[in-house]
Each structure stands twice: as structure tokens, then as C-alpha cells.
Copies of this chain bind each other. A is one copy, B any other.
């Protein structure tokens, strides 16, 4: 299954006063998985996959189970959803052992709509063929073939 799987460390400071990983910090993990899967924007602003950058247009996040801090990394799996002219959807699952231990269980399911953006020009721009090919390589089943966004 062509998913990207990123093993990400939690931080003790990700917990909030309820002593679970805070729901906002979960989005920080999704961001990190996205950055690692699609190429790290370099210090000078260049981005391996998306030459001129991208912006987040929308998030949907479902919290299925409370995520506890542990020193072992959690897995964030991500794949491509719908791909449009200048946008694409990233889908994720955050996987960690369940509250009773045992194997990995999904704790969070989410999707992000990203817009390919030309920061120099100050506006969205069409995805290139190379970018489409790279997104297609991470398409996971029928969802990845979807309609333009």
C-alpha cells in the first residue's frame, strides 16, 4: 500500500493540563509528517517537492482515542486524496498502541487540503506534471483518483 509512514517522537510538552497529547499538538504532528513526506523546505525557503511552496486551505481532524505521551515514536501514515488543478488533499492516520497496549490502533484520522502556491507571485499556481506524478505515487486506493478540487 503506497502510504508514507513517518515515525515521529512525541514530546512531554505536547501534553496539556488534561495529561493527554493536546488536540492542537496533533496538528503539529500532521504538519511534520507532511513536511517529511513531501520534502523538507530548506532554510532558504525552497521545497524539494513543491518548488514554490504550498499553503494549507483546510483541515478536518477526527480524534478517535486519547493519545498518551510515551518516549517511543508514534506512526503517522499519510497518502494522497483528491488532486485538483492547484490543490491536493493529504489524508492521515496517527497510529499508536491502544490504551490497553497491544498492536497499533488509529488514534486520529485527518485530511488537509493543500494549495500549491507561488510565494514570489503571491498566488496559487497549477501543479506541475512532476508534482502530480509524485502525488499519484502516494495515492492509496480509489480515493486517490478523485475529482478535481
Contacts and interface: CB of A to CB of B under 8 A. Distances in A.
Interface in A21-76: 22-24, 27-28, 31-32, 35-36, 40-41, 43-45, 53, 55-63, 66, 68-71, 73
Interface stretch (A11-19, A89-97, A134-142): A11-19
Contact of A71 (B40, B58, B59): B40
A128 interface: no
A32 B59 contact: no
A145 interface: no
A56 B23 CA distance: 7
A40 B12 contact: yes
Contacts of A20: 43
23 contacts: A8-B9, A9-B9, A9-B32, A11-B31, A12-B31, A12-B35, A12-B40, A13-B24, A13-B28, A13-B32, A15-B17, A17-B17, A18-B55, A18-B119, A20-B43, A23-B27, A23-B56, A24-B24, A27-B27, A40-B69, A40-B71, A43-B68, A60-B60
Interface of A: 8-9, 11-13, 15-20, 22-24, 27-28, 31-32, 35-36, 40-41, 43-45, 53, 55-63, 66, 68-71, 73, 119
